[in-house]
């Protein structure tokens, strides 16, 4: 199954994406979803094992993303955030 778009809506019908770090110490940010969230002034909810879930605006996440090109080692371009940047 392949999902497209955001996970849901929150606060005045603004889109939200939930990202969880289960086994890895990184959170994957997908380029197409990130662009959608930035355009609609949406949010991310980040979760990791043993950590409290946190809410960030897409613009906050945009400032935390590493500069440069999006990686394309899978079927969609993406970048990673290290969980140490969040908690």
pLDDT tens digits for range 7-20: 888 878 899 999 99
Q: What angle do CA 68, 74, 64 make, to 5 degrees?
A: 35
Domain contains 72: yes
Domain count, the chain: 1
DSSP secondary-structure letter at 60? H
Domain contains 24: yes
Enclosing domain of residue 77: 8-86
Quote the tokens at residue 43.
Answer: 């949010």
Q: Is 7 helix (H, G, I), strand (E, B) or coil?
A: coil
pLDDT tens-digit map of 62-76: 999 999 999 987 788
| pTM of the predicted model as reported, rounded to 2 decimal places | 0.87
Q: Is 36 helix (H, G, I), strand (E, B) or coil?
A: helix
* pLDDT (mean) for 28-56: 94
Rounded distance between C-alpha atoms, residue 31 and residue 29, angstroms: 6
């Amino acid at each position: 199954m392949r999902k497209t778009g955001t996970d849901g809506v929150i606060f005045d019908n603004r889109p939200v994406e939930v990202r969880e770090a289960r086994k890895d110490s990184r959170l994957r940010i997908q380029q197409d979803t990130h662009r959608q969230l930035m355009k609609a002034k949406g949010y991310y909810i980040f979760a990791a094992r043993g950590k409290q879930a946190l809410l960030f605006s897409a613009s906050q996440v945009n400032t935390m993303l590493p500069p440069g090109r999006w990686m394309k080692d899978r079927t969609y371009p993406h970048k990673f955030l290290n969980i140490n940047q969040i908690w």
